[in-house]
Amino acid sequence: MASHDGDQRELVRAAMRAPYLERGEEQSLAAAWREDADAEALHHLTEAHLRLVLSTARRFRSFGLPFADLVQEGFVGLLEAAARFEPERDVRFSTYAMWWVRAAMQDYVLRNWSIVRGGTSSSQKALFFNLRRLRAKLARTGEAAGNRVLGEIASAVGVPVADVEQMNARLAGPDISLNAPLQETDAASDSRQDFLVDRDPLPDEIVVDAIDQERRRKWLREALGELTERELRIVKERRLREGSATLESLGASLGISKERVRQIETKALDKLRAALLREHPEVEGAGGPSGD
């Protein structure tokens, strides 16, 4: 712990010692890194902007995450800014780098603030950070985050009110493990995961369904054997393949009209129904084949 605090103090001292850069110096160092991959130029450029990383990290300390980790993530954002900065544009590097540093820290907070992963879209990020800020402001004034306030937040951020309500509920309480017992004083108590409902089919249902599907496929293969070559082709192209062929395209390839294709298809489906009902009359009691 002492070593950790010492490293942090040394980082702050290094940031304070780093000289400020003039606009021309920034552009020269950025150009040297971008065009010549000059590592020393990159070092001078980033070292001079450590103050920016530290000041931004302090704004995120309320999330309870290690300050050193915030600084590290911010430095990664600073390096990304250096890689993307265009010296020829009339903008200071600190102005450009601020967005990358802040975005890197926001991503880190969203990944680590909760064991439940939150949204990572720009609107969800804005909702997460603005809602926390507003909740703190309301707490100071004693005002509750009622429906009116949540509606105003949703309108300002551009998300549904339901998203604001869900995020507000997440911020209101800590994460709860599904393995934790329902009775905190009894370790042998049922856990929350014992009451989760699995909506997937049971193993025996999966097996029965697989057997039924294989049986139906066998019946269909046998019934298809009663079709002529042209009927079989039309049924396969129209009914048994994804992205079924159109009547026009089949008519063109077979040299017949699309109306004739429709007639042959109808006749072939009737033959399939008759064959299935003849060999397996129980199908009729189950509703019969649809022909789809």
Main-chain phi, psi angles of 7, to 5 degrees:
-65, -40
> What residues contact residue 50 under an 8 Å CB cut-off, 6+ apart?
11, 14, 15, 18, 75
Q: Give residue 289's pLDDT.
A: 46
Beta bridge partners of 191: 181
pLDDT at residue 247 tops 60? yes
Q: Which two tokens stand for residue 74?
A: 């911010």
Q: Decide: helix, strand or coil at residue 177.
A: coil
Neighbours of 54 (CB within 10 A): 19
pLDDT class of 25 with cuts at 50, 70, 90: confident
Q: Which residues of 83-121 are buried (b: 16+ CB within 10 A; e: fewer)?
A: eebebeeeeebbebbbebbbbbbbebbbeebeeeebeee
Report the helix count and the strand count for the chain, using DSSP H and E. 14, 0
Look at the block and give the residue holding tokens 């309301």: 138
Residues 105, 77 contacting (CB under 8 angstroms): yes
For 81-127, write each residue's pLDDT tens digit: 888 888 888 788 888 989 999 889 988 887 777 645 555 566 666 66
Q: Which two tokens stand for residue 154?
A: 């949703």
Query: Given CA atoms 222, 223, 228, 231 in this order, what sign does their dihedral have?
Result: negative
Residues 98, 56 contacting (CB under 8 angstroms): yes
pTM: 0.47
For 248-271, write each residue's pLDDT tens digit: 998 998 899 999 999 999 999 999
Q: Give residue 266's pLDDT.
A: 93
Neighbours of 181 (CB within 10 A): 15
For 138-195, write each residue's pLDDT tens digit: 555 555 555 666 676 777 667 777 777 666 666 655 555 666 676 666 555 676 677 7
State the amino acid at position 287 in one-letter form. Answer: G
Q: Which two tokens stand for residue 156?
A: 């300002």
Q: Give residue 288's pLDDT.
A: 45
**CA distance between the termini of the chain:** 70
For 26-80, write each residue's pLDDT tens digit: 888 888 888 888 888 888 888 888 888 998 998 888 778 888 889 889 999 999 9
Q: Give residue 177's pLDDT.
A: 62
Q: Give residue 3's pLDDT.
A: 53
